[in-house]
Chains A and B, each alone.
Chain A
Amino acid sequence: MNQSLDEPANAATDENQEIDFLNGASHAPTSESSPPMNVQTNEFMSKIAREIDEEVRRKRAQGAFPPAFERRLKTIFEQLVPPGAGNSRKDFEALLRSSDRAAYFDIDVPIASQKPGVTRVKKLLRTTQAWYLNYLAQQLNNFSTNLMRLLYVFDSRVKKLEDASESAKTVRPSGTFLKPYYVTASGLDEKLLSSMGEPAGRVLIADCGNGYLVNHLNEHGFDSYGVDSNLESLENPVVTSLDLRWQDLDEHLKEIADDALFGIVLQNTSDMISPVEKLDLILQARRVLAPTGNLAIISIDPRFFETSSELLVQRDLSPGKPFAPETWRYVLEQLEFSNVSTTSFENCHLTMGYFTNNDAPGD
């Protein structure tokens, strides 16, 4: 054991030493923001975790945990696995291994008994039925062996597919990597408000930033909330009581039931994702919109995007570029939005569409 762990560790350390690990470039956003950890505690805990892992490795190498012993305890652990477990890659591999272990049918039935004579009877029964049980067990074992082989092949092919899709993923313009760019224009808020109609349900503001639009809509009787994948943008909300969440938009939409929202406002940071991702986003938005729900797209003007010095980094690193308003109109009409209209502002456009057909093809 590491002697340094004998030194007292102070949980409450100097506030100046605090680091927000969640803002680190390598940290992907989750649906969650946890409080910042402090360096001293974090280093101390890492040291302890390393020490425990080393201890376990050392004992394993010495043969302190024979396979039969670990298997017996693992069986007890497995009785307590929550039903949703198995979704992660690690869980899947563990399940595969445990299924593999269970995929053997043993005909060597235990015959021991404390009752006098019963052991002999059991042994006799086992001997006389062995030819039959053997025949069945052989077939079952052949089947299970092939089934397990199939699962391993399947797993390997899925893994290849996962790796391929991972490498095909494009860099999102927002989130931790690329700072988002929020366009505002005079008259835009009023136009959005008048186009939304009477409030009749909840409105999602995607890429909400500091919650300016959320607050604006709420002040006019809407029940709105926002999500943004950039934690920094959420740190200084215009009003502290707003419902603003740190989450990726596509992840968020997947966790909403069909027909749940009255409105969705996509702000311009969605402009910089690839065309395929844009279409996927609209399809997701359409799924969660209630009948007669409305979709508002605030998009950066493509000419402004191409020429603005403020957007130089975004322009170079983004996998997509803003659609022209004509393109957005075409896309929305193709996806069965009705009354699609565009209003142009300085450097941006507002495209509105109303969704009425919930049985549209492609759902």
Chain B
Amino acid sequence: MTKLKSIAFVTPRYGAEVIGGAEHAARMMAENLALQLGLSVEILTTTALDTNTWANHYPDGTEFLNGIKVTRCHIDQGRSRDFPALSGRLLKSPKSATIAECEQWIDAQGPVSLSLLNEIKNTQAEVVLFFPYLYHPIVLGISSVSERSVLIPAAHDEPAAYLPIFQSVFRTAKAIMFQSKAEERFVDSVLRVADKPRLRAGLGIEKLSKPVEPLSNFLPELDGQPFLLTLGRVDQLKGATLLSELFAEYKRRNPGPLKLVFAGPVTTQPINFPDIMTLGSVSDDLKWSLLKECTALVNPSAFESFSLVLFEAWSFSHPVIVNAQCQVTADHVYDSNGGFAFSDFAHFEAQINLIISKPAVRDALGANGKEYLDKGYRWEVIVEKMDEFLNNNFTS
């Protein structure tokens, strides 16, 4: 039984419209903690929705979202116009940046909200969880509640993590919660916080509360067709170009009905190829239909901090294929035996051929993934782990 009564989350944006990413994970975590433990959970955030500009979008003040109190603070400065140039310069050799340059980078990146910093300082919550590590409210806010703070960095191997300013941010946190063992390894080796109390909780997957609609209701052309699904932002940095090139090559060499479907907001258009479908942003209903009826899910990104989509695919007992360069997703695959990791075209081709031609293999991989999800990544399991961790470290 939890001894804690109140916790607060600090996150740069929060809302039902925030889909994917660390902030979405923060909402899921907050709602599940409140629901399962009966805790008072408060969200301290800004009025932003768009991470590219951090423009004020929601009205400032307090509202309740799914039973959670959300306090939104006005943004004094969004993303600066100088940010891309500054970022380009600093992130080429991040370790050599000075603290003053780092501070300038944090300010320029935004969102800067002085009232949010005040809210953090004045919160009465017994534990304050900061989520993720990269932004101004976290970097500047964590020191004011250091002894009550838990940092949930959602970090991965990216240039910004090497900026010296983050050494002190991580050191200031009383405890750290990781989403994956790759993240834990990376943070310990780069930011040297192995002495900190920690929990590798991961993120949870909801059980679907309503039946999934047949895909033919949305996309009749895909009905009964085998297809690989990629969910999330369609972006060169997320591996969209890589995957579309690999898939086009695969299809040139292995003709057949297999298609590749990109579902998610498009930043970089994949290459134009007849068997590649780019749907753009999709509704939740369509997303679940695609997940239910896909042959396998592919996540080609080399930069992931957790990759919820793998677990969503496993919830339907489908195998996954990931980029072996991404330690986080590769670890999930190796630990679960729920799919494959590719490091070149030759393996990508052989893996797809195996999944297509051997339904028994596909089913076994999917079943392994489902078992991995059910044992460690349901919200009931995660909330229980968090409850024990927070009580051990923050209650007397």
A interface vs B, CB < 8 Å? 1, 5-12, 31-32, 34-35, 37, 41-42, 44-45, 48, 51-52, 55-56, 59-60, 64-65, 69-70, 73-74, 76-77, 79-85, 202, 204, 223, 225, 241, 243, 247, 252, 254-257, 260-261, 288
Contacts and interface: CB of A to CB of B under 8 A. Distances in A.
A65 B195 contact: no
B325 A65 contact: no
A83 B162 CA distance: 9
A73 B344 contact: yes
Nearest to A8: B360
A6 B157 contact: no
Contacts of B156: 82
A283 B139 CA distance: 32
B121 to A, nearest CB: 24
A45 B193 CA distance: 35
Given A255-B188, A257-B171, A60 B346 contact: yes
A247 to B, nearest CB: 8
Contacts of B190: 84
B195 A256 contact: yes
B185 interface: yes
A73 B246 contact: yes
A63 B243 CA distance: 23
A12 B375 CA distance: 12
B358 A6 contact: yes
Contacts of B358: 1, 5-6
Contacts of B241: 76
Contacts of A80: 237, 239, 242, 301-303, 323, 325
Interface in B177-209: 181, 184-186, 188-195, 197-198
19 contacts: A1-B357, A11-B337, A12-B367, A31-B188, A34-B335, A37-B337, A52-B351, A52-B354, A55-B354, A56-B347, A70-B344, A73-B249, A80-B239, A81-B302, A84-B189, A85-B157, A225-B197, A256-B194, A257-B191
B303 A82 contact: yes
Given A9-B364, A60-B346, A79-B236, 19 more contacts: A1-B358, A5-B358, A5-B361, A6-B358, A11-B337, A12-B371, A31-B185, A35-B375, A48-B361, A52-B351, A56-B346, A76-B241, A79-B242, A80-B323, A82-B302, A83-B158, A223-B197, A225-B195, A256-B193
B335 to A, nearest CB: 6
A84 B195 contact: no
Contact of A77 (B181, B191, B337, B344): B344
A82 B194 contact: no
A65 B346 contact: yes
B2 interface: no
Given A70-B344, A80-B325, A255 B237 contact: no
Contact of B195 (A6, A41, A76, A204): A204
B242 A252 contact: no
Contacts of B246: 73
B223 interface: no
Contacts of B236: 79
B354 A51 contact: yes
Contacts of A241: 388, 392
B345 A65 contact: yes
A48 B325 CA distance: 20
B109 interface: no
A255 B347 contact: no
Contact of B360 (A9, A60, A83, A257): A9
Nearest to A81: B325
B245 interface: yes
Nearest to B192: A257
A70 B345 contact: yes
